[in-house]
Chains A and B, each alone.
Chain A
Amino acid sequence: MARSPFFVRDEGEVTRLSVSGRLTLSDLSAMTEEIGALFEGIGQGKLLMDLQTLDYVDSAGALFLLRVEEEAAKRSVPFEIVNMSPRVRSVVGIIDRRAVAPPPAQDGLRSVGLVEETGMTSVAFVEDIARSITFGGSLISEVVLSILRPSSVRWGDVLLYMKKVGVDGLPILGLISFLLGLIIAFMSSLQLKQFGANMYVASLVAIAMVRELGPIMTAILVAGRSGSAFAAEIGTMKVNEEVDALVTMGFDPVRFLAIPKVFASILVVPLLTFFSDLFGILGGMTVGVLGLDLTIHTYAQQTSWALEVFDVVSGVVKSMVFAVLIAGIGCQRGFQASGGAEAVGNATTSAVVAGLFLIIVADSTFAIILNYVRW
């Protein structure tokens, strides 16, 4: 505040507090600090607040005037405002005097204890599983119905999502898989070179990529790119009541929104897995040819000896299961969203986290089952 708008004059039994200029929000902080000082030094007589020369107040200025009045009442100082212009009066009149008083203490605000927090989290977890199972059931039944009646599937959307999940994701997947193959080959060659077993780098890279890393890397990438996008898309539709609109028009939202995404994922993720395997092997081959003095022919031959049809088929089956899990959980989290923008964000995060968790669980299950099937 450049200059104090207050001028105090002792007039015997009355202390006149003249306020001039403008009282606005930008001065409120400084004015509030001055309230106490204004009452220092005034006698036991009446305090007159003279607004004759006050040009303008906004709601913050009006708040200040009311706070001075409140302070006077608290100190039992007789108080009166004089020469208030109609404009100032109308602004003061619009302020609710109750708002000037301190807010009532709020009951019921207490921190939740550890036991209660654990219990609530556990209940929420169980409810979440129950919801997921329910959604899984309806998704499976819709998938079966769609297979029995292919004309009910929106194949245009399926193609669109195949492009989004597959074609658009291929460059980044190819790069990551290539680098992964390169790293595996490089790290393993450091050890195998000591035994003169450079040749087996090709086998190691091929088996690691085709059996485990190809499907897993593809699934992780699809969960991050597409699972989150599915959740965000459906979540936004849910909070905008578009899903409700579909229901009222007689559409099954799972069939309308989730089935195209699930079908597209089932068709495209195995293909992506195949490309991931291929790029990984190419990465290994780059190290083999440039760093280990192997020929392209030798590397390719060693790779083909190491791999069996069973490895490729199991990888494809695995990736189809991953596809269902990623698309399913993405859609389910989207349908679960309620509220506003924050709910969509939560749904997206939850879709990725739950998707990754389910991928690891499914992969572990496959590892155990395939171990028995293989022998």
Chain B
Amino acid sequence: MTDRNGGDGKVVEVEGLSARYGDDVVLQDVSLDVFRGEILVVAGASGCGKSTLLRHMIGLSVPSEGRVKIDGIDITVASEKTLRAVRRDIGVLFQSSALLGSMTLAENVALPLSEFTDLPAPVIDMMIRIKLSMVGLEGYEGHFPAELSGGMKKRAGIARAMALDPKVLFLDEPFAGLDPITSVELEMLIKKLNGGMGTTMVIVSHELEAIFNIAGRIVMLDKDKKGIIAEGDPRVLREHSPDERVRRFLSRKIEEKDRDRM
């Protein structure tokens, strides 16, 4: 796989990661690589630890065991200064979009630009317009997040996350709560940014349609195993995975005993 820098390789490496909340072990010995330029979807049923894995990958939580490397830098032991430099190279879209409500969209997008660069104000204005037009929100610079629909908030969140042209964009449940059309538009936007900018995408989602439409590769987590139970092309896994849980999840089939209970 060729990256946007012209090389091959891993951009994110998760090695033997374990995570717990108090005494509850959520993830146990999880290892995973993300390759440059790919769209990787982390899938699985609710409560299997998808968002927990994402929080560890972006350095918001520290694992009880294991390491997370971004571009070769172990962020679990990195100093605050190193972590800050690493964070410049990643973008994150949170489930709620997490736009700052007291700021306009332009101000939200300008935040990373003014924090990490010394660009003059007119150039920052231009960058803001570029980023917002990239996600189809041209003309909305002066709007506040509260004035936008759910789908527009997600797109604005992506514009902010893409402000510094990150190497990797992490998206937590980007399709949750969106209508089918908006969901497809968001899928197209993700594919456009991946294809056009070469940005590596790590998406946490359980929306099957989106998974089949955009994922180059999926890793599937399981609540009981507390780790990865399958990895690969979603279509191949749906038909040929040796694990019945994977085939059932990707085919939207529930177990007979669960059906009887309902």
> Hey, which bits of chain A sit against chain B, CB under 8 A?
24-26, 28-29, 32, 55-56, 58-60, 63, 87, 90-91, 93-96, 98-100, 102-103, 106, 339-342
Contact = CB atoms under 8 A, between A and B. Distances in A.
A108 to B, nearest CB: 11
Q: How large is the interface on B (under 10, 10 to 19, 20 to 34, 35 or more residues)?
A: 20 to 34
Given A26-B117, A29-B117, A98-B133, A87 B198 contact: yes
Nearest to B165: A58
B127 A94 contact: no
Nearest to A342: B102
Given A56-B5, A90-B195, A96-B134, A24 B126 contact: no
B101 A29 contact: no
B157 interface: no
Contact of A63 (B4, B127, B142): B127
Contacts of B195: 90
Contacts of B146: 339-340
A59 B165 contact: yes
Given A25-B117, A59-B165, A96 B129 contact: yes
B258 interface: no
Interface of B: 4-6, 100-102, 117-120, 122-123, 125-127, 129-134, 138, 142, 145-146, 162, 164-165, 192-193, 195-198
Contact of A96 (B4, B133, B142): B133
B83 to A, nearest CB: 19
A93 to B, nearest CB: 6
A56 B4 contact: yes
Contacts, number: 84
Contact of B102 (A96, A102, A103, A340): A340
* Majority DSSP secondary structure for residues of A touching B: helix
B101 A96 contact: no
Nearest to A93: B196
Contacts of B125: 103
Contact of B127 (A60, A103, A106): A60
A87 B165 CA distance: 15
Contact of B133 (A25, A32, A90, A99): A99
A91 B193 CA distance: 9
Given A25-B117, A25-B164, A28-B123, A94 B138 contact: no
Contact of A28 (B4, B102, B117, B198): B117
A180 B142 CA distance: 51
